Amino acid sequence: MSKKLSIVILNYYCLDVIKDCLQSFKKHQPQLDYEIIIVNNDDNKDSFRAFSEQYPEIEFVQNTGNWGFSSGCNLGASIARGEHLLFLNPDTELTKSPAIDTMSSFLEDNPNVGIVSCRRIKKGKPEREITFINPWLAIGWIRALYRLVHKKEISKKFQDECDVWYPEWVAGSVVMISRVFFNKINGWSDKDFWMYVEDPDLCKKVHNNNKEIAILRRVELKHAHGGSSRKNPKTTAITKSEVVTSTHVFIQKYTRGLNRVSLHLVMIIDTLISWILRVGLTLVVFWKAAFKENLLTLLAIIRYYFNAVVRRTWKSKRLPPN
């Protein structure tokens, strides 16, 4: 039986976090007809099976391995029965704000919109909503300079009194899209991205099909951000180095010629300098959490750049074999 909405949530050793997410659904029940699909990317199948027995009304799916965010989301979408798909991070929680119902109605009423999201609140404050898809603006100091130079134009486009903003991309923590349109654009790029930057990539494909990205600014979900991926220094190093990996993949995918070469080079220099400085600044607390995270991340990035030369690809080694 078809549903109005299929909600896809990805698990990677965060069943405790997902439990809080599911509790929020019981406390703030959406009005529309929906199903929840939870995809398991970790190898603890026994715990996942035991957890699933507590929620017989939810669809639980085991992935063949930890092939990344895009892989898990595509797997969940492949069995979805909803007209719309909502990709939701496990560390999100519903609030009294009718965000899910409002997003679904907005998507239904605005055929020019390909993806709709809402405000994501972290520690009482909204997360970033003004975004840019130009690969050069992935570099922090260039983005800051761009925002300074174009301050007036940005302020005019993103006026605070507006209920809806149309940014260039939205974070993958809350993404609603028509299932038909999702299939048309071939979903998340699971052959390119293991983790991170898959969200601007998906939005890029939406723009290429002449549709817009929308954020509804009067409805919201709570988001812990990183609650499902950064649990210890080693895991943090992996995830932060994957930000670098995926950024290079995005550059390779959407730039050409001298622009591509220049951007890769600037990205390498900027990344290495910034992480060397972070290690140096935390050296005074030698082998405390901050120093350990920074050192392990720097080493992971150096290994990535070395392997990129050896393997002759910018893609993550964590992607499934072809």
Domain boundary among 203, 223, 243: 223
Choose among 171, 164, 160: nearest CA to 112: 164
pLDDT tens for 49-60 read 999 999 999 999
Categorize the per-residue pLDDT at 285 as very low, low, confident or very high, splitting at 50, 70 and 90: confident
Regarding pTM above 0.85, the answer is yes
Which residues have CB under 8 Å from 103's CB, separation 6+?
A: 86, 116, 117, 118, 176, 216, 219
pLDDT surpasses 90 at 289 = no
322 found inside a domain: no
CATH at 177: 3.90.550.10
Domain co-membership, 187 together with 256 = no
What's residue 228's pLDDT? 52
Domain boundary among 223, 246, 267: 223
Domain co-membership, 148 together with 69 = yes
Domain co-membership, 113 together with 139 = yes
Domain co-membership, 42 together with 151 = yes
pLDDT tens for 124-183 read 999 999 999 999 999 999 999 999 999 999 999 999 999 999 999 999 999 999 999 999
98 found inside a domain: yes
Lowest mean pLDDT among 48-62, 255-269, 283-297: 283-297
228 found inside a domain: no
pLDDT tens for 131-144 read 999 999 999 999 99
Give the end-to-end CA distance of the chain in Å, rounded to a whole number.
35
Question: In 3-state terms, what secondary structure has residue 11?
Answer: strand
Query: Average pLDDT for residues 218-241, to the nearest whole number?
Result: 80
Domain co-membership, 195 together with 293 = no
75 found inside a domain: yes
Query: Average pLDDT for residues 256-279, to the nearest whole number?
Result: 98
Domain co-membership, 129 together with 242 = no
Domain boundary among 194, 223, 252: 223
What region, left, alpha or beta, does residue 61 occupy, with left being phi > 0 and alpha being psi -120 to 50 degrees? beta
318 found inside a domain: no
Phi, psi of 38 (to 5 degrees): -115, 120
Domain extent for 165: 3-223
CB-neighbour burial class of residue 15 (10 A; exposed 0-12, middle 13-18, buried 19+): buried
Query: Average pLDDT for residues 269-279, to the nearest whole number?
Result: 97
Domain co-membership, 112 together with 183 = yes
pLDDT surpasses 80 at 229 = no
What's residue 227's pLDDT? 52
Spatial separation of the C-alpha atoms in residues 293 and 301, rounded to whole Å: 12
As for how many domains the chain has, the answer is: 2
Phi, psi of 220 (to 5 degrees): -155, 160
What's residue 231's pLDDT? 61
